[in-house]
Each structure stands twice: as structure tokens, then as C-alpha cells.
Structure 1
């Protein structure tokens, strides 16, 4: 099929991982991790690497954890222009460098954005790159021979900001929502409430979902933890598999102490032809969509994800296929809830013969911050080359199930097709909102909850409803009776009393 020469195609993908137990472990920087992934992507094109590097007009970067807030400096120093540091190392000089805000949806979001720019004729070649040096930071934390990764390269940089303010507020942070495990714990326990499952029953369901992920990770050469885990191993709490935040022991939580990098090159068909990229390398972005959820406390039902539902459905529509036509999936899996949210809507099950991940998932393959789904895209591109004409779906999630971006990939050629994300977004914005009482006083019930075992004092985190008007509130608790129920029983629907000190709501068992 002849396509418009401006049609975007992915032509090169690369990944790099170093593990602490590797005999040649170096503990390298975010820039070096990204450089090695980019070099692999350039080689993957099958065209002269120097020519492809020189043709890159836009470098798009995914923000590392160490530069995700303005409140602390990177512990080992960092480049003042991450993207241009990588560009220098590969002999590139892009006209534009773009640093994306935080959010695990970022890799697919920017892939869609810049593929669309290529289709519009605005640019011809773009590189998307991400890396996470969490292992390096941990390795050198108690050593005297710390490296200094500071670089001053300057140059143009379009810094799109941190973006963390989209995912939390002073109110939610003041009531314990300062990390992903507790945030997603609320969502998974809300789903458990909707399904009417007990604590042990639901934990086993989560383990049955994720055990197959670990099997994939065990065979992936880029995995940070290539170990197959059984269902019993995942559900059993031990010193090694300690509780992090209810309902998650460690083996159900994204593994963020990793050194991983990924890169993807996307260019027009005309550029790919001119640069000599063999056509068997070309993979088309056949479907795409981006959706943003309401703020957490506004949602009428925190046990589902409307944004994931709309984004997956729209990406499939753009691709002209249904869910049964998808050959491979890589669903964002920082915790079970994001995977369940898609499975519930589209009838997928943990034992689906197609599998739900190509990488092995964030707890086992690794959770390299905001760039995880770039690895999912890389694996999908490789899988589509091995299965010409098949379709692979990548689901990328950011925030507190706040943003969901989807891509559908295939070697089957077709002209670029626009999506209706903006129109669908208006439908989400029009959803009813739950009234929130910030300073809550009186009796109420527990709608959902988590327990922070990662704090010095084990603390309960609650989303509840006031009996008086059914408005929603948040509360913290260390009350002995309520904590016993939250850690040893099932507090969903329990009656509580709430007081307020002018800043924080505190709950006790009623």
C-alpha cells in the first residue's frame, strides 16, 4: 500500500539495563543510560547511525525522579540540559529539545504528539528518550567515592514544568497521599469494595494477575529483576516481601530502584526512505488517544477509570480494530489497579493467552519512573516486526490513574488518522462530581482506605462519606481500635467519628 510520504513510522527502538548484581555494574548517570539506549535505537534502524543522528530535529525527554520537583537537588548532580547532553554524545544537534512533565502516560503521549507533528509536515524526525538512575543513587548513597554527574551544556530547552501539582493538592498531601503506593491502595480497596471481596481473597486475585507478569520478566534480558514469582510467594508477607501500603506487599509494587533507559525514533516515510531505513523496520502508530480523569476526590466512583476506558476504545477505533484483534498488550502495571481497570472494561483476564505485558511489568521488569512505557513501546515494536500485520496495544498511565494514553502499533501500513480525544475529554469533564468537605466533623463511614506501613508510625489513610450529607472527606488515624480493624480485619463500610483541628481530619472507630 502506498501511504502519504508524511506518514510517521517508528524505525528504531533501544533499551539498556544494568543490574546491581551484574559483574560489570558501573552505576552510570541518567544521561549515560539514555545515551546507550539511543545508540541501540540508532543501530536498530539498519541505516547509518551518524546520518540518522544528524537528521533528528527534536529530542523529547521524559523527566527522571531526581528532577521531578524543585524541592531537592539530584544527589549526584545532573546535566542542566539532559537532552542536549545525550545529543552531544551521539553527534546530534536538534533544533528543539523538549522535557516532558511527570506522568507515566508521557511516553505514549509524546509519541502521539510528535508522530502527529510529522504527519502534519511540521518536522520529519524525532527521538523520544527516557532513563532512570535509581539504582545508581542507592548504590552510592553510603559511599565516599560518589561520582559527580553535573554537566553544564546549556542550549535551547523547552521545559514543560514538573506537573506534580496535577496529581496532588495540599489537602490530599496533608492526609497522607504523598506517594503512589498509598494512592493506588485507595483505588484497589475501592475496587475490592465494589466486587464484595474479602481482604485475603482480593490479595490472591492481585497475585494471580501479576504472577504471569513475573514469568515474562524472568525471560526478558532488559529486566531489572528476572525472577519468576509464584502466586503464593506474592501473597505471603515476609521480611523480604514486607507490607508497603495496604493492600500491597512489596512484590505488588513498582520496582523503582533500577538503572534503565529506553529510546524510540519516529520519522516520516519520506525521511525513512531517504535515510535508507529498510521497510521491514517500519512500524506504524495505527491508533492513539489521550484522556485525563477528574481529580481523585471528585470522581463519583474511584473503583473504575473512565479515562482508561475511553482512551483504549478510541485508540482501537482509530486503528479500525476491536479488542479481540489485538495480538499483544503492554498494560501499565505500577500496581494491580491500572491493569484491572482495563481488564474490567474490556473482558480481559489474567490467563489471557496473549498476555497482558511484553516487558514483565513494573514490579519485576522494573519501574523506571516516567519512562516505563517507552520500554513497552520498544517491546511492542519488536513484537510487531516478528508478527507482520498483527496489532499491539500499549496502555500508559500517569498520576493517580489521572491520565491514560494508548497506542496501537502494526506493520500494516495506513495513512495517519486523527483521534477524537478532545471531544471525549469533554464528556469526562461533564461527569458529575462528588461534594468534598475539607474540614470534616461528625459521624461517617469508610468508603476506601490504605495503611501506610512505610511511615515511622503505622497510619491509616481514609476516604470516607459523612452521614449527614454523604459528602466525601479524607482522614488519618492511629487510633488503636480502628488501626486493628484496618490491619487485621476489613474496615470497608465501618462507622467512624471524625474530628478536625483546623488542618487535618482525624478518625476514630465509632
Structure 2
């Protein structure tokens, strides 16, 4: 088919991983990790890397954990991450952007760049990301810590970390300050809806994730290329300790990694002008970017209407069905997002196509906000070897707060708009649950988690007041209730909740 010269195509991808047990491990910075990935992406185009670097007009950077909140970067940082990287490869983009926090960011930015290219706003863009969590841990207690501080002049469109969109003073006061505890609440809510016991659900989660580890074991970019068994994952040991209920460590994203990724996108006209072979081109056939309701507003905490709509919308835009997909990568920070989107697609962990191309966040690695950039890079690589087939990438941010989807193929296709704005209005208009911030009285547990990662093992509760069924948050250190939460099943348990100056507290009744 004749392709509009403004059609965006992905033309270069790159990945880099530094493992702590590598002989040459040196504890690289965020800038250094991204630079290695960018060099790989430039070379991947099959054209002189210097020419491609000079042609890139816009660079979108994804935030590392160390710049994803108000706390300072302990080893120092660049004041202009994208330009620091581009300076090292000979590029001087007219515009650089630093994206807010969110694991949906990689796919959201590829879609944003594609729309801008299709509209004639630019001809060539790159998305970069890296995470130096391993470096931070390695140097934490050492005297010879490096200083990665770097000052670079030039334009920077910093969109702000926006971390506060994912929690409020009320949720933070009640322990919802980390991803594991928040997703624990969601997975236990889903378990409640399914009517499953604690051990049965943990085995279900392990069975879902075992095939991911098999992919990671064969991926040269994996941070932990080890194949796991169901028994390894479900059995709590010193090495596989409980993090937050219902997750032992092997069900949790592995964030202490050193990884980088980069994706280059340009118009068909620019790709032809620069001589990028058509065998490198991959088109974005379908896309969507949806936002879920705030956590406590959601009628069913074990569901995610926005993620389901995002998956279906991207397939609609691509004008294909699930059976047409050859590869999937479903964001797997914890089991919950994989369960939700695989169910929406009508697939499961036994699907011969698999649910990941990388190996998933607990095994391949969870490089902060940039994981799905690796998924996109790997999808592009695999689709080049399977011309005409389709790949699906699902990227998740926050507490199942934002979901972005991309559908890719080497098969030429025009740029198509999606209906994300209208669908977001539809999600926003869904019914909401009334919340009582200072509950007092008899109540039941709707869902829960347990924070084993705190000095004192603490129960985290979302409950419903018997008086009016309003929803509330509470914590507990009550031995009897914490014991039930750790060793039994507290779903629907009768409790008493009371407000205090430091948050709501619950006990059994």
C-alpha cells in the first residue's frame, strides 16, 4: 500500500543491562545507562549513528526513581537528563521533555510522538529511560561513593514528577505509600470477588508468573535470568520473604536494577531521506491512554474498567482481534494488572504466545517508569523477524491508575486517532463509593494488606462501616487482628474502627 510520508514509524531500538555479578560491574549512573541504550538504538537503525543523532528533534526522558519525588538523588543527578545523554552521542535536539511519574509513560510517549510526527510538528523523536537502582544500593554504605551531579545548559520541558496524583494525605497516613501494599489491596479484593482462599490465590499468582520467569531466563538483558518454579514462588523463605500481603518477593517487581532503553521514531519521509532500510520499520497500528478513577472511589477494587477499555480501544484502532496478536507484553509489577488485562483479552498464562516478551518486572527487571520501553524495544525486535504479525504492549502506571496500550506491526498502516478522551470521560462518570475519613463504629473488612516491610508488622485495611456502608482506611497493630491477617483470612471479618489523631485504628470485635 502507498504510505503517507507523514506516517510515523519506529526505526531503532536499544537496551542495556548492567548486572551486579557481571565481571565489569561499575555502578553506572542514570545518564550512563541511558547513553548505552541510545547508542544501541542509533546503531540499530542501520544508518550512520551520528547522522541519526543529529536528525532527532525531540527527546522524551522518563524519570528514574531518584527524581520521581521531592527527595534528593543521593549520588547526585543531571539537571537536564535528556541533554546529558544526547551530549554524549553528538545530538542537539531542539526540544527535550521530562515526563511525570508513571509506568504507562513509555507507551504514552510513543503515542504522543507518533501523533506529533503525523501532524507535521516534527520528523524525528526518541524516547529514553534508565534506572540505576542497583548503583544506589551498591554505594549506599560505601565511602567511595561517586558524584553523578551534572549541569547542562539548554531547554528542558520538565512536566514535574506529579507523584502526588497517586496518593493523598489520607491514604499516606494509612500506609498506602508503596506500590506493593496498594496492589496487595487490589489482589485481595479480586480474591474476595472470586471466593478463593489465601493459599489457592497465591498458587494462582505463581502459576501466572512462572512462564514469565522462563522468558526472563533466556533474555540476555534480564537482571535475574533464572527460571522459577511454582513451589519456589509460593514458599516463603528468608530469600523469598513476604513484602506486603499477598506477595512474597518473587511476585514483586525487581526495582534494584541497572537498565536502560531507547526507541527512535520518525516520519516515513525522514526514514527514507536518512536511508533507514524498510526492514527496520515498525508501525504503531493501535493505541490508547486511559485513566482510572481514584483508588477509594472505585466500586470494585478488584477490577479496572479503564485498563479493560484501553486494551479494547487499541485493538479497535488497529482493526484487529486478539487472535491476530503474535506477541504480548502485559505490565507485571504484580499479578493484579496481568490478571485484569489478560482476562479482558480472553487469554491466560497458558497461552502459547505468552504474556511477556521480556520476562516481566520481577524477573527481567522493573526499571522504574521505563520498564515498558524495554517491552516496546523487544516487541519491535521480534516483529521484524515476523513480518506482518502484530505485537501488543500494555503499560501500567500508579495503582492501576493509568493504562496505555500500543499495537505494533511491520505491516504498513496509516496513523489513526483513538477515542481515549471520550473513554476517559466515560470512566470518570462511573459510580463512586462514599468515603468516611474519620469512621467510628462497627465495620467489616473489604480488603487488606499487611506491611511486613515496616519495623512493626502492620495491617492495612479498607473497610465498610456497618451503619452506612461507607468506605474507610485504617491500620492495626492489634495482635489478634494482625495474627488473623498474617495467618488466616480476614476478608469480611467483623471489626471496630475508631479515629485517632494519627489515623484510623481497627480491632477485632
The TM-score, its normalising length taken from structure 1, stands at 0.99
d(CA) in 2 for partners of 1:144, 1:425: 50
2:64 corresponds to: 64
Q: What is the match of residue 9 of structure 1?
A: 9
SS of alignment partner, residue 327 of structure 1: strand
Q: 1:355-387: CA deviations, max 9, x gaps? A: 000000000000000000000000100111011
1:123 — aligned with what? 122
Report the counterpart of residue 45 of structure 2 in structure 1. Answer: 45
- The corresponding residue for 2:157 is 158
Q: Name the structure 1 match of 2:303.
A: 304
Rounded Cα–Cα distance in structure 2 between residues aligned with 1:344 and 1:414: 28
CA contact under 8 A between 1:297 and 1:472: conserved in structure 2?
Answer: yes
The total of aligned residue pairs comes to 509
SS, match of residue 60 in structure 1: strand
The corresponding residue for 1:432 is 431
- Report the Cα offset of residue 503 of structure 1: 4.3
Cα distance in structure 2, aligned partners of 1:334 and 1:215: 16
Match of 1:487 in 2: 486
The alpha-carbon deviation at position 324 of structure 1 amounts to 1.4
1:379 counterpart residue number: 378
Contact 1:8 1:119 in 2 (8 A): yes
Rounded to whole Å, the distance in 2 between the matches of 1:430 and 1:146 is 50
Matched, 1:185 2:188: no
Alignment of 1:426-465 (within 5 A): 426-465=425-464
Question: Please, which runs of 5 or more residues in structure 1 have no aligned partner?
Answer: none
Structure 2: how far apart are the matches of 1:320 and 1:201? 38
CA displacement 1:380-428 (0-9 Å, x = unmatched): 0011101100000000000000000000000000110000000111100
The CA deviation at 1:310 is: 0.6
DSSP 3-state at the match of 1:483: helix
Instruction: Tell me how far apart the structure 2 counterparts of residues 244 and 380 of structure 1 sit (CA, whole Å).
Output: 31
Contact 2:284 2:409 in 1 (8 A): yes
Secondary structure, in 3 states, of the residue corresponding to 2:269?
helix
Query: 1:176, 1:505 → 2: CA distance?
Result: 11
CA contact 1:445–1:493 (8 Å) conserved in 2 = yes
In structure 1, the partner of 2:227 is 228
- Structure 2 stretches lacking a partner, 5+ long: none
Give the CA deviation at 1:346.
2.2
Provide the residue aligned with 1:78 in structure 2. 77
Aligned residue for 1:341, secondary structure, equals helix
Q: Which whole-Å CA distance do the structure 2 matches of 1:302 and 1:115 have between them?
A: 33
SS at match of 1:88: helix
d(CA) in 1 for partners of 2:455 and 2:63?
29
8 Å CA contact retained: 1:439, 1:502: no
Residues 10 and 283 in structure 2, CA contact (< 8 A), matched pair in contact too:
yes
Q: Deviations over 1:97-125 (max 9, x none)?
A: 00000000000001101110000000000
Partner Cα distance (2:127, 2:192) in 1? 40
Matches within 5 A, 1:193-342: 193-342=192-341
1:145 to partner: Cα distance: 1.1
Cα separation, 1, equivalents of 2:342 and 2:377: 22
Confirm or deny that 1:476 pairs with 2:461.
Answer: no
CA positional deviation for 1:344: 2.0
Distance, in Å, in 2 between the alignment partners of 1:2 and 1:49 is 28
Q: Measure, in 2, the Cα distance between the counterparts of 1:174 and 1:307.
A: 27
Specify the SS of the correspondent of 1:237. coil
- Report if the CA contact (8 A) 1:96-1:156 is conserved: yes
Aligned mates of 1:449, 1:402 — CA distance in 2: 19
Q: Root-mean-square deviation (CA), in Å? A: 0.6
Kept in 2: contact 1:445–1:494 (CA 8 A) = yes
Distance 1:41 1:126 in 2: 12
Residue by residue over 1:245-297, the C-alpha shift from the partner in whole angstroms, topping out at 9 and shown as x without a partner, is 00000000000000000000000000000001000000000000000000000
Is residue 507 of structure 1 aligned with residue 506 of structure 2?
A: yes
Q: Give CA deviations for 1:38-59 in whole Å, capped at 9, x if unaligned.
A: 0000000001111110000001
- 2:314 and 2:254 map into 1 onto residues whose CA distance is 28
How far apart, in 2, do the equivalents of 1:229 and 1:344 lie? 23
TM-score (norm 2): 1.00
